[in-house]
Amino acid sequence: MLRDDLAELATVVLAQVERAIAGWDEADPAVAQVVADTDREVDLRSAALEERILGLHRNWSAFAADLRLLHVGLIAAVALERVGNLAVQIARLAGSVPPPQEEMAPVRRLIAQMGERAVDALAQSVQAIARADLEAGERAMREARSVSPMLDRVLRAVTEAASGPAMRAWSAAAVLVARHIERVANNAAELGARVRFLATGESSLPDEE
């Protein structure tokens, strides 16, 4: 079933994001290859899902609710592929700079919290799509949108804590990681917003009629 395929793709992507963030936090350069290898699976699953949806569009005489599911499912497949690519970018930064000194502990904690919140929001948004659960989609959006202010906190913490060339290099990489995590959350928010259209046929996105 389309919903099952979407859920399976989301499971792989969520694991990728968690693995990449953990690798970054542990300064483990080996994680980059693991995430890159698994990203090929993400690409294949996403392409297969997109092709299946397009095939159903071509061949299936569906009711309105089914067509909405195909529309949202295609958007979700593309968004999950984007998130998979973000996980690859995060993983590539793991071990690319010297390990952080103790004064960077607050920044590490903030990034870990951002990651947990973004992953949770993405998981909720995919589950909301699978169940056409409007309330769950709105919860996912709220949680996803709470990540952006945390990026501002990371930027402030980096500015206050960074000292010396090595730590400035780590801080620059940390900001990139935090920005990638924010983009994961943004994709989660977009998917959460699509649940309204899926469940009711009404759009909650300003760029749609």
**Which tokens is 15 given?**
């694991």
- At residue 198, what is the residue type? L
Sorted by where each begins, the domain ranges of the chain are 2-200
The residue among 147, 149, 169, 144 whose CA lies nearest residue 158 is 169
pLDDT digits (tens, 9 = 90+) for 4-38: 888 899 999 999 999 999 998 888 889 999 999 99
Yes or no: say if 184 and 86 are a contact pair by the CB < 8 Å rule. yes
160: how many CB neighbours lie within 10 A of its CB? 11
> Of 131-135, 165-169, 179-183, 185-189, which gets the smallest average pLDDT?
165-169
pLDDT digits (tens, 9 = 90+) for 98-119: 777 787 888 899 999 999 999 9
CA–centroid distance for 33 within its chain: 19
Domain over 2-200 is classified CATH 3.40.50.720: no
Cα separation, 23 vs 19, in Å, equals 6
